[in-house]
């Protein structure tokens, strides 16, 4: 499984901009990939920075390229 850093680098190389780790976590959650709860998370049910729809497509594409999604 690819790391957050690998996904960020892949997006940066292909699109020239950075993605937030919280966006990656949101996309992983939406696709049913297991995650741990961050110790600094305020609420297990709410997201402070949900992933924008246009960024979700780019992150999912990167995750497919790195073998995390089909």
Evaluate whether residue 14 is within a structural domain: yes
> Which residue is listed with tokens 């924008």?
52
Evaluate whether residue 6 is within a structural domain: yes
Evaluate whether residue 37 is within a structural domain: no
Evaluate whether residue 44 is within a structural domain: no
Evaluate whether residue 43 is within a structural domain: no
Evaluate whether residue 16 is within a structural domain: yes
Domain range for residue 12?
1-32+49-70
The model's pTM is 0.90
Evaluate whether residue 8 is within a structural domain: yes
Evaluate whether residue 25 is within a structural domain: yes
Domain count, the chain: 1
Q: In this structure, which long-range contacts are made by residues 4-10, counting pairs with CB atoms below 8 Å and at least 24 apart in sequence? A: 6/66, 7/59, 7/62, 7/63, 7/66, 10/62, 10/65, 10/66
pLDDT tens readout for residues 2-58: 999 999 999 999 999 999 999 999 999 999 998 888 888 888 888 889 999 999 999
């Amino acid at each position: 499984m690819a790391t957050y850093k690998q996904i960020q680098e892949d997006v940066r190389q292909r699109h020239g901009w950075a993605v937030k780790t919280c966006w990656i976590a949101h996309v992983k959650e939406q696709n049913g990939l297991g995650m741990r709860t961050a110790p600094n998370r305020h609420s297990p049910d709410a997201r402070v920075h949900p992933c924008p729809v246009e960024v979700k497509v780019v992150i999912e594409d990167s995750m497919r390229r790195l073998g995390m999604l089909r």
